[in-house]
Structure 1
Amino acid sequence: MFMSTRSGVISTLVELVRKTLNHDPLVFVNSGLVVVGLITSLRSAANVLYTYAENICLSTVHVRAEDPLYEDVVRWMNDHAFRGRNFLSVLAQTNNNSDKPLRCPVQLDPDRLISYRESEDNSFLELKPFRGSRLFRFRQTWMLFSHAANGPGCFGPPQLDTNPPLKLQCLSISLSPIKKFLDEVRAYGRKVSVSNVTIYRTTSFSPDVVRWSSVASRLSRDISTVILDKQKKQTILRDINEYLHPHTRQWYANHGIPYRRGYLFSGPPGTGKTSLASAIAGVFGLDIYVLSLLDPSMTESHFSRLFSEVPTRCVVLLEDVDAAGLNRGDTEPGEDFIQRSTKTNTSVSLSGLLNAIDGVSSQEGRILIMTTNAPQQLDRALIRPGRVDVHIKFELPSREELQDLFLSMYSEVHQNPQFSPDEQKTEAARLTEQAVRFAECLPEKQFSIADIQGFLLQHKRRPEDACSQVESWVEEMDFEE
């Protein structure tokens, strides 16, 4: 009954269409089926031809999403191959990193609150290619850029797929054209990021997949902004400079010494340990790879593999190693150091950490910086020479360092371009006097750099107010303690 009713409805609709169009609708249906079949056949034939060409005359290079080269390729494609072209499938992305300054009064009016909803919007909308394949030309050679899955950068969040997400191909029996393209891509990436430091952290895509991911790119920090004893600062800069010299690696090889260098930054919180590591990366043009022993997704095998995957020249920052629980135990002298670490807050054992640092698979050429608030708790095996070559002790600031911090915070006061050279000298001398007065109002080695910097941030561009109110701030801090 139901089938006959449905057949009747279909017959009625077919008759209605025939009367309306004066044509048999079955002709259109059959024609559509022929077109679909033809398209399917052509696509199948194209796939067969493509597979055959890929095996015979197409050079192919895959780039994994976790490789730094991936970001360089994406950047080059966005700036060269994709710019000015129209695509039907794109990713809309809001870019808030505009260098265009806001329209605002030259002088800050403390009685007038700034509303960014009323100000000019500096962000802009970017439409970037999203998925599929793109054919482009590089130095008279046609190349095919394809990506089937989302990866980091402009193509969306990384997926769990561990297959190479980016593929480059060209019609050639040699990889030379693609090699030249990748050399161009790397050179362009270095040119764009010459004044930046890229920070990499571990990202867990699944319990079994943990990769390095680029999380930020920041302007290089000037080493002069790091408040530390000048002799200690010069010691580490000279040591790293000698280590990175091209002839040093051969010297290590000639003497049978693994080409590695390790540093331990110890001291109270807020004294600038991480800041110095960041500034060092900027000075020597290195990227930073941050590892944490407290990462709940980090297993010992993950840690060892990630440590071995860092580039030959980079800064590996291992933060707060004392907080992971790999501490010196209360055991009898001579007991195996692995047994001393019985209570840990990490899945990475002390033996696993030591093997990652200087094991057979450990990368050479890198700079390892470990930070700790309690160096006395670290196992001697972790900080022995060869693993820690230079120990920099950070202390609460002295009077001289307090003056340096004040001058660094207000350095632009006497550099006003509206001042004449004589006026700038006068302002510089005046600022130096204020720095001395400011430092004399603070007790030595009592407050951290972070504490004092927090106070100075309350008086940006007003060194006179900082000098006049610092004593009352010290009293408040003493009362809170």
Structure 2
Amino acid sequence: MNFISGGGSSPAQMSLIDILFPGLSVVSASVQQLLAGNLDSYTRLFCTLGVFVLFTRYAVRYVWDLVRSYFMSTLHVSYYDEAYDMLVDWIAQQPFVHNAQSLIARVRSPQRTTIQNQAKKKPLTFSPWDGSFPFWYKGHLLILYCMVKDHREDIYISSIGLYPNILKELVEECRGRYLNNINKKITVFEHREGEWKKTRLRAIRPISTVIMDKQVQDDLLGDMKDFLDEDTQKWYADRGIPYQRGYLLYGPPGTGKSSFSLSLAGEFELDIYTLQLSGISDSKLMKLFAELPPHCIVLLEDVDAAGMGRRDDADTDQENNSGSGVTLSGLLNVVDGVSSQEGRVLIMTTNHIEHLDEALIRPGRADKRVHFKLADGKISAQLFHTVFKQTPDHKQAKKQSSDETIERLAKDFASKVPDQIFSPAEVLSFLLERKNSPFDAVTAVEGWVAKAKETASQLKREGSWVQESGC
């Protein structure tokens, strides 16, 4: 069947096939001429094919953009958000990952692994990387997009059809699995490129295993429990008092300040956000504090090492270097100024409280000060008990020791360790080297103490020689 269109002296004919498939008759004629040996039609054919391919690609892209805009729902997940970790952990367990052509391998080490077991050492997981990956979820076709930007990855998922609830169901499932995986663990966040990023999970350490003064520990636990109570929050709000609490943990290195902070997070099931102030500007610090969740622990470690001296000694330096690091005024502003975040628990640690400005550690900013001391007889005995006590899962392999024997040996051990000389970390390190024999620990402790004193005396003499020589 032909359609005749008049126009000019010679009428043009257009077949039905040209209407349905524009240009197909031209391609067919060119192929026939090419087979007949007409090379001019060869060039004509390729030009026609090229135009057809370009038109097809444009048409497909245009139609796909229309589908994505009007017939698809999309869920975006930022790399720095914890939802990213939830989704990535879920994706790594899905069957469609095995068929993906672009993958990234990650090491996922278990929390407690027998080092000798090679099958469990540094296990690998695989996730899709830098591309689009279709998969089915509860009867719905979803497409996972992984976009690489600056050596990190942004993820978003689209569903075919106007049904956004399926994406919410997927994320809720990811969240449920994620919460189950982090049960009895502490989520630790650190500063990464101006954002908070989850860096690791730590097994909860019972607060009872932290060796410190029992009365001080109970007082701090009771204070924090009262602060986190819902009635307390309402009490603060009714009186217009900022709902914040701050603690200053100070003492020599190795006395358990950071360990106690982690145990507090586990005791009250709070995430912990750790931050080193060195190398961070006031504006970045303000941004990080503004992004904190309502209930969490913020751990500022070694605040004395951030270059902020006492106000009367450092005002001039802070004015000259305000753009190079955190200033005292900037830190005070995020602690309890207009930029401070309510609901959080602030813990600051320092080895040298005498180096801190009084404005930073006054009540209202550091509501309680907790002194972590060097080991005394009571702490040394507690450390001995911790290392050598009998547990249901582990007995002394060579020598069975009763509780009465351990009690007697602990007193003997503590009497041989001088008070306020060694940190709990040093005493614990000595005991761990002899963890298989409490008798050896008691026998060797006097020699260890004498050697440590001799080493300290030698270092002191060398330091005096350096000072006297003017080096």
- TM-score higher than 0.5 here? yes
- How big is each residue's C-alpha offset from its partner over 1:322-351, in whole Å with a ceiling of 9 and x where there is no partner? 1223222447xxxxx966967989611111
Distance 1:453 1:71 in 2: 36
- What's the CA shift for 1:287? 2.0
CA contact (8 A) 1:399 1:440 kept: yes
Q: Is the 8 A contact 1:410 1:463 kept in 2?
A: yes
**2:103 is aligned with 1:90:** yes
* Residue number in structure 1 paired with 2:424: 449
Structure 1 residues 320 and 253: CA distance shift in structure 2, 3 A: same
TM value normalised by structure 1: 0.77
Identify the residue that residue 220 of structure 2 maps to in structure 1. 236
| CA–CA distance in structure 1, aligned partners of residues 58 and 423 of structure 2 | 69
Cα 1:442–1:417 change in 2 (3 A) is closer
User: Which 5+ residue runs of structure 1 have no aligned equivalent?
Assistant: 1-21, 105-118, 152-156, 160-164, 205-209, 332-336
Instruction: Return the offset for 1:193.
Output: 0.5
CA distance in 2, matches of 1:452, 1:191: 37
Q: Which amino acid aligns with 1:463?
A: P
Alignment match of 1:370 (pick from 341, 348, 371): 348
Question: Which of 179, 187, 203 is the matching residue for 1:190?
Answer: 179
Partner deviation per Cα, 1:176-207 (whole Å, 9 max, x = no partner): 33333323322221111012222222123xxx
The one-character-per-residue Cα deviations of 1:361-384 (angstroms, maximum 9, x if unpaired) are 332222111001222332222122
In the alignment of these two chains, the number of paired residues is: 417
How many angstroms apart in 1 are the aligned matches of 2:205 and 2:268?
11
DSSP-derived class of the 1:122 partner: coil
Is 1:267–1:373's contact at 8 Å kept on the other side of the alignment?
Answer: yes
Q: Is the 8 A contact 2:205 2:263 kept in 1?
A: yes
What is the aligned partner in structure 2 of residue 129 from structure 1?
128
Distance 1:400 1:100 in 2: 33
Q: Alignment partner for residue 158 of structure 1, among 147, 152, 155?
A: 152
| 1:87 maps to amino acid | A
* TM-aligned CA distance change 1:40 to 1:387, over 3 Å: farther
Using the TM superposition, give the Cα deviation of residue 171 of structure 1 relative to its aligned residue in structure 2, in angstroms.
4.0
Distance in 2 between residues matched to 1:418 and 1:166, nearest whole Å:
49
SS in 1 for 2:418: coil
CA RMSD between the two structures: 3.3
Residue 193 of structure 2 corresponds to residue 180 of structure 1:
no
1:264 paired residue among 248, 268, 278: 248
State the SS of the aligned residue for 1:148. Answer: strand
TM-score (norm 2): 0.78
The 5 Å alignment of 1:20-99 reads: 41-80=55-94, 82=96, 85-97=98-110
CA change 1:142–1:282 in 2 (3 A) is same
Contact 1:98 1:122 survives alignment (8 Å) = no
Equivalent position to 1:319, from 281, 293, 301: 301
Paired with 1:217 and 1:28, the residues of 2 have a C-alpha distance of 66
Instruction: Work out whether 1:406 is the aligned partner of 2:405.
Output: no
Q: 1:50 to 1:356 in 2, by over 3 A?
A: farther
Question: Percentage identity across aligned positions?
Answer: 34
Is the 8 Å Cα contact of residues 397 and 448 (structure 1) preserved in structure 2? yes
2:188 is matched with which residue: 188, 192, 199?
199
Contact 2:88 2:127 in 1 (8 A): no
CA contact (8 A) 1:414 1:428 kept: no
The structure-2 alpha-carbon separation of the partners of 1:356 and 1:147, relative to structure 1 and needing over 3 Å to count, comes to same
In structure 2, stretches of 5+ residues that fail to align are 1-34, 457-471
Deviation at 1:150, TM superposition (A): 5.3
Secondary structure of the residue aligned to 1:250 is helix
Larger radius of gyration: 2
Instruction: Indicate how the Cα distance of structure 1 residues 414 and 123 shifts in structure 2: closer, same or farther if over 3 A, else same.
Output: closer
Q: 1:215 to 1:36 in 2, by over 3 A?
A: farther
Give the distance between the partners of 1:433 and 1:140, measured in 2 at CA. Answer: 68
Amino acid at match of 2:359: A
- The 8 Å contact of residues 248 and 349 in structure 2, kept in 1 or not, is answered as yes
CA distance in 1: counterparts of 2:104 and 2:50, whole angstroms: 29
Kept in 2, the 8 Å contact 1:202–1:212? The answer is yes
Which secondary structure state, in structure 2, belongs to the residue aligned with residue 371 of structure 1?
A: strand
Structure 1 residues 77-121: Cα deviation after superposition (integer angstroms, max 9, x where no partner): 2224646x42222223455548664569xxxxxxxxxxxxxx777
Aligned to 1:359: 337
- Once residues 248 and 39 of structure 1 are traced to their aligned partners in structure 2, the CA distance between those partners, rounded to angstroms, is 69
1:289 matched residue in structure 2: 273
Structure 1 residue 129: deviation in Å?
1.7
